[in-house]
């Protein structure tokens, strides 16, 4: 069942039982649902038909692509918004159509800065691997550091392609194949793309960040310049939300406390830490050796929990593994390096103190030595999120469990 305890009846949509609202937008709600046949938990997006029709968005939702004029106008506004962020030293790192909104005047707004960042003082490059795989720049996957502005520019190019085509330029079920095509910029144009649009997209989706077009060059592009009007900020805008509120009045939502709270990772208290460390010496939590049959790994991070999981997800996918995230837990599974056996690893994030999180990896299935190899390779690509602190000799040390060697 989706929910428990007293409350209103659950709604059923096909083979899914629909529970509480876990997110809302202007024209939709995201609800927790469960497949009654398999027990699988999913997020179900529910669109309000009357609001969509009233705001003339039906054509955009029922047909995948926009006209060239509309796509250009939204792309112009996207570039304006991204450029504004970059001038403030902020890099979004998760640009995609789902994070783009329209205001009451039909102007584009950029949302969801949960993965945004700015370079550390004295450093020009970002190092956290994160974002949505289909929109991420190839250099972000290299784990060698990247320019946040140029990575955002690549994502803008993918968005422009999607607006014009109605589908993604890079879209493969197999993630290894997907990343290979991203790294080589292997894609094709549909017949209806104009020459100007194709020329600009080619310059944006350049896999070499050194030669990729910059935002100031995009602004001077002939295709981009057509009918370009910079957005003017609206002062004292009055917005009537009566219709929106009416569309989202749902008595079912009054009983949300009957469902599990998914607002953040579990918090470990002092007793949890003592149990984990098997004593009052908490240093053992990150240093003690493990029994081979209970092989696991833990490390600390000062990144937000959402960034930690996003980074670990992208890195796992870039290694050819499939991932599934729920409630700040992630399952990583796939074939081993020799493609001869199955490996499954559970990852969970815990909050141990304000702004300090512990990440725990555990072998769920597969050979111990294969798990050991996976942990070495995996954690070697996560240095940007693992918290390092100085030791007595002044050298940085990664606070994580040493791994047993069988």
In a domain, 405, yes or no: no
Shared domain check, 280 and 165:
no
Instruction: Note if 94 is an active site residue.
Output: yes
- The pLDDT > 90 percentage for the chain reads 28
Q: Which one from 48, 80, 94, 206 is the annotated catalytic residue?
A: 94
Shared domain check, 204 and 291:
no
Shared domain check, 165 and 117:
yes
Shared domain check, 34 and 105:
no
Residue 291 has pLDDT above 50, yes or no: no
Query: Is 336 within 8 Å of 366 (Cβ atoms)?
Result: yes
Q: How confident is the model at residue 240 (pLDDT cuts 50, 70, 90)?
A: low
Length of the chain, in residues: 406
- The pLDDT > 70 percentage for the chain reads 68
CATH for 35: 3.30.200.20
End-to-end CA distance of the chain: 43
Q: Which residues are annotated as a binding site?
A: 54
Shared domain check, 348 and 219:
no
Residue 209 has pLDDT above 80, yes or no: yes
In a domain, 241, yes or no: no
**DSSP category for residue 146:** B
Shared domain check, 296 and 199:
no
Shared domain check, 69 and 34:
no
Boundary (domain end) residue, out of 28, 61, 94: 61
CATH for 177: 1.10.510.10
Structural domain including 44 reads: 1-61
In a domain, 296, yes or no: yes
Query: Which string of b and e fits 90-119 if b means at least 16 CB within 10 Å?
Result: bbbbbbbeebbeeeeeebbebeeeebbbeb
Residue 59 has pLDDT above 60, yes or no: no
In a domain, 305, yes or no: yes
Shared domain check, 174 and 74:
yes
CATH for 313: 3.30.310.80
Provide CB contacts within 8 A for 185, sequence distance 6+.
Answer: 138, 205, 206, 207
Task: Tell me the three-class secondary structure of 100-127, residue by residue.
Answer: EEECCCCCEEECCCCCCECCCCCCCCEC
Shared domain check, 109 and 38:
no
pLDDT on residue 370: 85
In a domain, 236, yes or no: no
Shared domain check, 150 and 34:
no
Q: How confident is the model at residue 197 (pLDDT cuts 50, 70, 90)?
A: very high
Distance between CA atoms of residues 349 and 380, nearest Å: 18
- Looking at the structure of the chain, the number of domains it has is 3
Q: Which residues are annotated as a binding site for ATP?
A: 54
Residue 195 has pLDDT above 90, yes or no: yes
- Of 187-196, 202-211, 258-267, 318-327, the poorest mean pLDDT is in 258-267
């Amino acid at each position: 069942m989706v929910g428990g305890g007293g409350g209103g009846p659950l709604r059923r949509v096909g083979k899914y039982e629909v529970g509480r609202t876990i997110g809302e937008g202007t024209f939709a709600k995201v609800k927790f649902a469960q497949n009654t046949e398999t027990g699988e938990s999913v997020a179900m997006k529910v669109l309000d038909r009357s609001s969509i029709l009233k705001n003339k968005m039906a054509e955009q939702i029922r047909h995948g692509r926009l006209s060239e004029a509309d796509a250009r106008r939204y792309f112009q506004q996207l570039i304006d918004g991204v450029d504004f962020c970059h001038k403030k030293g902020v890099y979004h790192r998760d640009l995609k159509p789902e994070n783009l909104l329209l205001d009451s005047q039909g102007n584009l707004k950029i949302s969801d800065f949960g993965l945004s960042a700015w370079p550390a003082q004295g450093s020009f490059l970002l190092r956290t691997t994160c974002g949505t795989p289909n929109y991420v720049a190839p250099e972000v996957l290299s784990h060698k550091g990247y320019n946040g502005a140029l990575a955002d520019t690549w994502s803008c190019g993918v968005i422009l392609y999607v607006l014009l085509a109605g589908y993604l330029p890079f879209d493969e079920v197999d993630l290894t194949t997907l990343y290979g095509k991203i790294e080589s910029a292997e894609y094709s144009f549909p017949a209806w793309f104009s020459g100007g649009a194709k020329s600009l997209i080619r310059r944006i989706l350049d896999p070499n960040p050194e030669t990729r077009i910059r935002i100031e060059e995009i602004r001077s592009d002939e295709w981009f310049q057509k009918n370009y009007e910079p957005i003017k900020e609206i002062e004292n805008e009055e917005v009537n939300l009566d219709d929106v509120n009416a569309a989202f009045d749902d008595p079912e939502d009054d009983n949300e406390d009957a469902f599990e709270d998914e607002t953040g990772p579990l918090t470990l208290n002092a007793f949890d830490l003592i149990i984990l460390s098997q004593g009052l010496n908490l240093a053992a939590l990150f240093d003690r050796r493990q029994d081979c049959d209970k092989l696991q790994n833990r490390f600390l991070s000062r990144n937000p929990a959402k960034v930690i999981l996003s980074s670990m997800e992208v890195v796992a996918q870039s290694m050819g593994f499939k991932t599934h995230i729920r409630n700040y837990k992630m399952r990583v599974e796939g074939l081993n390096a020799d493609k001869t056996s199955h490996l499954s690893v559970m990852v969970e994030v815990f909050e141990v103190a304000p702004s300090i999180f512990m990440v725990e990896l555990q072998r769920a299935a597969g050979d111990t030595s294969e798990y050991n190899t996976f942990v070495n390779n995996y954690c070697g690509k996560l240095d940007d999120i693992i918290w390092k602190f100085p030791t007595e000799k002044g050298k940085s040390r990664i606070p994580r469990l040493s791994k047993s060697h069988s």
